[in-house]
Chains A and B, each alone.
Chain A
Amino acid sequence: MSFVLEFIVSLLIVLGGVFVLVGSVGLVKLPDLMTRLHAPTKATTLGLGGVLLGSMLFFLGAEGELSIHEVLITLFLFITAPVSAHFIAKAWLHRHPEHKGELSPTGRRYGWSTYDPGPGDQVGEGRRDAVRRS
């Protein structure tokens, strides 16, 4: 493996490591759950991306074959990260109905789906409980 390739691979891995570190720093530094949620959903995507790109280049240079696993890891990350972030945000909204007043208005006749029933919804026991608490 040539020096140039080795240099690029190590640069990518270090860069990736720096971004993952920044994501972790964000988790410690930011004040509450909703702001903390920003750190892992973003700062880590480029961190992991850098490490994976480095890994691809390494296998291309060292063994002369293209490794596709890294592309798949990126794909799965892009599918799962927003969904889990959305779940965490919704769980937070459920646990903290006292913050309901801080949310911006929907601009529609109906409220946010975490708190309010929509058109044609049967207001069941759980929902009614959530509405009463808020």
Chain B
Amino acid sequence: MATHKNERSFLQRWLPHPLLTIVLVVLWMLLLNSFTMGGLVMGLFLGIVIPIITSNFWPERPPIRAYGKALAFMLLVAWDVIVANIHVARLILFRRADQLHTRWVTVPLELDSPEAITVLAGTITMTPGTVSSDLSADGRSLLVHCLDAPDAEEAVMQMKSRYETRLKEIFQ
């Protein structure tokens, strides 16, 4: 890595993650909830300093290919979260605990970037009756706990077709 560091240009050294800088400045302005010049200067300072300090932790840029599809994916997940809430609330209130078909399922992964797998695992946790619990030691399959899945095959197929195919288009 040492030789790689020397080859970095001026811009790459002082602005290692331009997108992160923008996100941090916008986030800081939103946290202030009102626009002031002093706030903007502070936001810019944080937006420049934090990526430089933390750039050793993530040398690569996030490999997002299609931002439009990413936005559509977020809306889909938001909708699924609402459906998941109602579904799980009904299970909790109206189903006896010993009648739940609780089981572990394995989701084989086609994604290979760590960012994409993290987003997929997070999405699975936030949506209908599933919590992602572990990753296989080689990082190629995901252990998911289902609160109520009468059919394991179908649950896996749904996760793969609904989320993984979309994430593959966004990240690869």
Q: Which residues of B contact A41 (CB under 8 A)?
A: 125-126, 131
Say yes or no: is A46 at the interface (Cβ < 8 Å to chain B): yes
CB pair A31–B97 under 8 Å, yes or no, is: yes
Residue of B85, B86, B103, B141 with most partner-chain A CB within 10 A: B85
Instruction: Given contacts A42-B126, A69-B31, A90-B133, list 7 more A-B pairs with CB under 8 A.
Output: A31-B98, A39-B88, A104-B152, A107-B141, A109-B138, A113-B134, A113-B137
Q: Are A35 and B137 in contact (CB under 8 A)?
A: no
Number of A-B contacts (CB under 8 A): 142
Is the CB–CB distance between A104 and B143 below 8 Å? yes
Q: Mark A22-44, 1 if CB is under 8 A from B, else 0.
A: 11011001110011011101110
CA distance A113 to B126 in the complex (A): 22
B2 interfacial by beta-carbon distance below 8 Å:
no
Which stretch (B6-14, B48-56, B104-112, B157-165) binds chain A? B104-112
Interface string of A93-113 (1 = CB under 8 A from B): 100000000111111111111
Q: Flag if B126 contacts A89 (CB, 8 Å).
A: no
Which B-chain residue is minimally distant from A34 (CB atoms)?
B145
14 CB < 8 A contacts A-B: A22-B92, A25-B93, A34-B102, A34-B145, A42-B88, A46-B86, A72-B31, A82-B122, A86-B121, A89-B132, A102-B104, A104-B152, A110-B138, A117-B137
Bound together, the chains give a CA A67 to CA B34 distance in angstroms of 9
Interface string of B87-100 (1 = CB under 8 A from A): 01100110001101
Q: Is B27 an interface residue (CB 8 A)?
A: yes
Asked if B139 CB lies within 8 Å of chain A CBs, one says yes
Residue of A nearest to B88 (CB): A42
A31 to B147 CA separation, bound complex (whole angstroms): 11
> Which of A43, A71, A82, A106 contacts B88, CB < 8 Å?
A43
**B82 CB within 8 Å of chain A:** yes
Interface size class of B (residues with CB under 8 A): 35 or more
The 4 closest A-B pairs by CB, nearest first: A118-B137, A46-B85, A89-B133, A82-B125
Is B61 close to A, CB under 8 A?
A: no
B74 to chain A, nearest CB (A): 9
Contact: B92 with A25, CB < 8 Å? yes
**A10 close to chain B: CB less than 8 A:** no
Name which residue of chain B comes closest to A83, CB basis.
B122
The distance from the CB of A107 to the nearest CB of chain B, in whole angstroms, is 6
Within 8 A of A (CB), among B56-80: none
